Structure 1
Amino acid sequence: MQMHSEPGKVAQLLQEKKFAKNWSGIRPKENHRGLLIGTAILFDENGISIPGMTLQIELRVPTVVDDCLIILSVFQRIGSKRYRAYQLEVCPNDKLSHNGEEPIYGPHEHLPNGEVHPVRESGVDCHNWQTLIAWFLSRTNIDPFDLEQPC
């Protein structure tokens, strides 16, 4: 999924304090077996919804012990297109997670300018739900809210 054509504006939106409201909770995705998904609408510090900006958390239910995939994203919808503003992908450290110019193993993030970086922060892994959620919320400046651990 492509970034918005104006990554500077998206980066600025990510730097501003935001609040997630209308959290759906994490539930099975109807059209994709084994995938759990939760969404929320993002609001600015004045309580006004930010046009087209949403939070989405996806989890693949592992079929093998110690295999996980957690994708935490902020999207911006412009017209009928949805652009990735920021994304954190969490998987085991030994799993190829991004096959770019330089392959990345384990957790990585997609920035508004299109750059992709490995994430080596302690606790940003499949076994530390609260830590990875806190790290994601701090990177996107979303005020913490109750995000239940799905499994």
Structure 2
Amino acid sequence: MDKNKSIDHQLRATWQAVAKLYNEQATKYDSTMSSAFVLLTIDKVNGTPSTALGPLMGMEPTSLSRILKSMEEKGAIYREKNPDDGRSVIIKLTDYGLERRKFSKNHVYQFNNIVREHVNEDDLESFFKVMKTINILIAEKKIFESTNQDK
């Protein structure tokens, strides 16, 4: 199959380009795209249980732990005991983290606004519909259903 007509290739190549773009911006602020994503995922008022962050972000616990440790060392977050469950912690943003969150949010808005200036609403609606369908197919395990060919 021609890679330019391969859906997964287009998804991967585009995501890699977006990630590179965001990482280039994050580097200017001594950060990473992943850290910025964490800042945007943490509830800015109540914080977010550490156990909920990984699933919210689609990230493995070991990768997330490394990012959280780095963010804590830089003073962007702090950990607080979860009053509802003494075994877990809630990740909260410091004032510095809230400031960094604003930078991250502005970059996301800028990205979306520029894309929206160049892509009409019907095409965007189709794009979101396709992405939703792909996610449903994956969630329902319909992509690589077991067949006789697998045996």
Q: Answer whether TM exceeds 0.5 for this pair.
A: no
Q: Which has the higher strand share?
A: 1
Q: Which has the higher helix share?
A: 2
**Higher Cα radius of gyration:** 2
**Higher-RCO chain (CA-CA 8 Å, sequence separation at least 6):** 1
